[in-house]
Chain A
Amino acid sequence: MKEKMDQTPIDDDTNDLNQADNLPNGGSVVDKEAKKSNSKKSNSVNENQKDTPVEIEKDRIYEKQNNKKSLKYQNAIQRAKNRTYKIFVFLFLTLVSLVVLYPLVYAVSAAFSPGRSISAMSIIPFGSGVTTAHFKRLVSETNYIRWFRNTLIIAASTSVSTVLVCSLAAYVFSRFRFLFKKTMMLALLVLQIFPSFIGMIAIYVILLRIKGLDTLWGMVLIYLAGNIPYNTWLVKSYMDSIPRAYDEAAKIDGASNARTFFKIILPQASPIITFLAIVSFTGPWMEFIFAKLILRSNENQTLALGLFSFVTDKKNEFTLFCAGALIVAVPFIIFFLITQKVLVSSLAGAGVKE
């Protein structure tokens, strides 16, 4: 048994050695060290005949050294192998990066290019000069600031209300037992798959009835209602994973339900709450269908509507569109880059929700 165990590293080593010889770089170094270790190994095999405790102890030390050595070769070989692999990967990733970046860079260059339509632009980004005229036109000739303000109000209200309503409901679903709980959860799940604009005519009529047409709060209501089904499930699944011991301890200490929720559960659930806040904040920025349907008057338009109006068939102000889009997209991008760690873990969390 022992013999066998000793044999194995040697076999491995010879294998490694052969591979190392085939490699152009680092082969000689590997060679030398391999020889050393081989001699040591043969020693160890010979010494295996003796069975005194001291010898066994010695064996062990040799073995350890051997293992260390063989790891070293493996690493060296791995490194060499990795180098070619890495170069390929690097080239591939660079190529993909170019494809990913191309339209974005071109759009940025369009925001600074003179002229109005894309047909007048040079095919090389920034090839037709740089100007900030479009940004000035956005402020002076269009309602851009007004659109921005409207969208910001809608997005912030939607985000806050979604977080409140969803997390509260998720807490109730996660911690309480009540009549029709199962039915309600199943209903949420089924409703979640329908885009809310399937019922857009009805929503239009309902808003007409409650005088919510062409108002910002009407939009917030629509977005909030649309956000609820899926996100309640999301937050509920997360809260299920928070140990009940926390809230039970708080209850024993005399905390009310509301207090337990705000002081114990909400902080514990902060990753998913952050995720929810981000997602529901970004959603309304570029929502188009309901904004188009509900917001009729000029002063209530949102960014999506305004930007879209720059590149419809009647107008082709691609450069103006890009300038306007750039102002929105840059904060988005910075935000995503900063929060990408949270994003990755939240997305993974959403993935392991089952």
Chain B
Amino acid sequence: MKTLALDGSSRKRVFVVAILFMGLAHLTMLKQYIKGAIFALIEIVMIILSPLLFKLLRNMVTLGEPKPELPIFERDNSMFMLIDGILILAVLFVFLILYVVSVRSALSTYKDYCVTDTLPQSKHFLSEFGAKAFPIAGLSPLVMLILFFVVVPLIFSASVAFTNYSVPGNIPPNNTVDWVGLDNFKTLFGGNATWTGALGRVAIWTLLWATAATVTCYAGGMFMAVIMHESKIKIAPIFRAIFILPYAVPAVVSMLVWQNLLNGSFGTINRTLIELGLMTQQTTIPWLSNATLAKFTVVLINLWAGFPYFMLLTMGSMTAISKETFEAARIDGASRPQVFRAITLPSVLYQTMPLIIMSFTHNINNFGAIFFLTGGNPVVADSTTTSAKGTDIMVTWIYNLTINLQKYNYAAVLAVCIFVVLAPFAIFNFRRTKSYKEGEL
């Protein structure tokens, strides 16, 4: 074996050998036998498994052949094939990263060698491993969980958007599923008037809803916080305790209670209004059964449930504004609205901006507020075909498509739409983080 040059000229050789076989450079040139053996073992395992991996990947491409002559449980299950394929892709991805790590480790060891003229001993590897073990152990549960329970399902969802996984003809294990390219997207975006209409309606309402819900809750919460802070009422803590009750009560409970209270025929609110003589049995208000009114009701009830969060938030942010600032403003003769406009609002807004955006994305996905209050009702013209009802937002529609209609392919297309709409918000929030600004990331 040729000795390594000290002037860095063997870098290319180390690089090639490291790429040739995982751990080879460690074993033959750098005398890091333990490290090299571990890397080599990983690659050997992968090579032994490769026929199986290849078969699973091929299954993912074909999604199985229909074999009607076999009993149901021996037929090809396209969904298992798809998910196995994605899992294998994830494993390959991890393997690829390990490969990169091994090559980089070999190069950096060589670099050290050039400087110090000694190759690190295996003992050194053990102590180095001790130092690295902690971050690896600390991150591995996160990586595994995220990979298999977040990333793989999301990729699976996105893949289903390009298949015909739906009732009636393509539900495993009875039948197989096939790749259909962009057919689902074509149907939803213009190919079929009913579906396109429903998608447009639901998409517009989802955006309207998220905007209205966020704005009302934010404004309401801030208003309550500011007047309680300003007026310095002695029993403010009691009011505060009352106001955070809606936040403390689980949404399922409060929304279902509201659903019953607002019921058009037997709901307590309409019955109270009748008793008070404000209306008659015939002119009851269809809070949740008129498509337009139901939308207002949903936003209103969401305000009831959502303002406490922003009230607490504003209170917290306001304590961060120094008392001197308020005092200085008062001495300068600023009126209450002026103080609010010039001091409280800007600083609270600045501090809570990421949370406003988060709240907006949360509301786009606010399943509970819609599902438990209205269940998506009332029914509109295309509801029987599309399962999208009057107050359904994207996520509740996805739920309906999955659970009731079993049109998984369309549900997946909607999920992809949500991804496209929400990703910019995530990036925006990311760019505002301290770590990003300080160039750490």
Contacts and interface: CB of A to CB of B under 8 A. Distances in A.
A347 interface: yes
B150 A97 contact: no
A344 B243 CA distance: 13
The 7 closest A-B pairs by CB, nearest first: A199-B153, A348-B316, A119-B266, A225-B149, A202-B156, A202-B153, A336-B248
A119 to B, nearest CB: 3
Nearest to B87: A206
Nearest to A167: B138
B41 interface: no
Given A89-B227, A228-B142, A237-B434, A106 B257 contact: yes
Contacts of B49: none
B252 interface: yes
Contacts of B427: 190
A123 B256 contact: no
B139 A172 contact: yes
A194 B257 contact: no
Given A203-B149, A336-B244, 16 more contacts: A187-B146, A188-B146, A192-B426, A194-B150, A195-B365, A199-B156, A201-B79, A202-B156, A206-B83, A225-B148, A226-B150, A288-B371, A308-B252, A332-B250, A347-B312, A348-B315
Interface of B: 79-80, 83, 86, 97, 100-101, 104, 131, 134-135, 138-139, 141-143, 145-146, 148-154, 156-157, 160, 224, 227-228, 231-233, 239-254, 256-261, 263, 265-268, 271-272, 275, 304, 309, 312-313, 315-317, 319-320, 351-355, 361, 365, 367-368, 371-372, 395, 398-399, 402-403, 408, 415, 418-419, 422-423, 425-427, 429-430, 432-435, 437, 441
A314 B150 CA distance: 35
A92 B367 contact: no
B315 A344 contact: yes
Interface stretch (A49-57, A130-138, A320-328): A320-328
Nearest to B86: A202
A97 to B, nearest CB: 5
A196 B150 contact: yes
Nearest to A283: B250
Contact of B361 (A107, A176, A193): A193
Contacts, number: 289
A232 interface: yes
Nearest to A101: B242
A258 B275 contact: no
B312 A201 contact: no
Given A89-B231, A106-B268, A198-B398, A286 B153 contact: no
Contacts of A201: 79, 153, 156-157, 160, 402, 408
Given A340-B241, A352-B320, A286 B250 contact: yes
B399 A289 contact: yes
Contacts of A296: none
A89 B233 contact: yes
Nearest to B273: A123
A276 interface: no
B408 to A, nearest CB: 6
Contact of B138 (A107, A172, A187, A288): A172
17 contacts: A90-B233, A93-B227, A96-B224, A100-B246, A107-B257, A180-B97, A185-B435, A188-B146, A197-B399, A198-B418, A221-B149, A225-B146, A286-B251, A311-B260, A332-B250, A337-B241, A344-B319
Which of B80, B138, B227, B425 has the largest number of chain A CB atoms within 10 A?
B138
A202 B267 CA distance: 40
Contacts of B422: 193-194
B335 to A, nearest CB: 11
A354 B312 contact: no
B86 to A, nearest CB: 8
Contact of A165 (B100, B101, B145, B150): B145
A104 B249 contact: yes
